[in-house]
Amino acid sequence: MTTQNESILSFQNVNVFYGIIQALHGISFDVKRGQIVTLVGANGAGKSTTLRAISGLVKPKSGEILFKGQNIVGLPAHEIVRKRLCQAPEGRGIFLNLTVEENMDLGAWAAPDKSAYQANMDHGYQLFPRLKERRHQLAGTLSGGEQQMLAMARALMGQPELLLLDEPSLGLAPQIIEKIFEIITDINKTGMTIVLVEQNALQALQIAHYGIVLETGMIKTHGAAADLLKSDEIRKAYLGD
């Protein structure tokens, strides 16, 4: 039996290097089931590296990353996806020469319950009606916002228990950003746990339950998102006040 206060993900003293450059300096944090946890900070703070470590795209030099109690450090990325930990990457990473539906189909390759394929596809189209209208269109012909929606819908086809979103608002118009954040909130309301990396700290903290502020690969501060929004120091440094 699981509870909402249970940690689905636990970072324990994780150190990551790119060659001789240390990108993460012994960071530790927990992600509780059912929450949106956002990582905020300037460029180069280590936000995307943290997600890449979770996904198995970079291997920590030391430390543990526990997903549902199991250390996933060293597991190949495709095995981590099979454990129901899926990511919509920075830059979207969709296949531009495939249709919307073909992209979503690829997202389902590691889904544990193949019988739920059509239900998952229908749910994706319900969340993103624009994708249904364009399901036979090549992904490369979509707008930036539609491509971001497709990246998220494709990740959801893997039936994740934990969804990683890396800079979903990057390069999008303000009205599209607002819609993307609304959809993230709707996805979370279904019980989905989300780790959100986002340069738009104000909007990220407004929808998150918990916030972690990274600075040069270290955790500067962390706490309830509502408390971080009230912090004068955080507002001046990251929210433009």
Taking only the tens place, the pLDDT of each residue in 24-43 is: 999 999 999 999 999 998 88
pLDDT beyond 50 at 1: no
Helix ranges, the chain (H): 47-55, 77-82, 100-107, 117-127, 129-133, 144-156, 174-189, 201-207, 225-230, 232-238
Tell me the sheet residues that pair with 66: 10, 71
Structural domains of the chain, with CATH: 1-84+161-241 (3.40.50.300), 94-159 (no CATH)
Predicted pLDDT at 85: 93
User: Crossing angle of helices 117-127/174-189, nearest 10°?
Assistant: 140
Three-state SS string across 84-96, please?
A: CEEEECCCCCCCC
Predicted pLDDT at 232: 80
Predicted pLDDT at 238: 66
**In this predicted model, which residue has the larger pLDDT, 139 or 93?**
139
pTM of the predicted model, to two decimals? 0.91
% of the chain beyond a pLDDT of 70: 95
The answer to whether 183 and 133 are in contact (CB under 8 A) is no
Model confidence band, residue 241 (pLDDT cutoffs 50, 70, 90): low
- Rounded-to-5 percentages of helix, strand, coil across the chain: 40, 25, 35
In this predicted model, what pLDDT tens digit does every residue of 145-203 receive, in sequence order?
Answer: 889 889 999 999 888 999 999 988 888 888 888 888 999 999 999 999 999 998 888 88
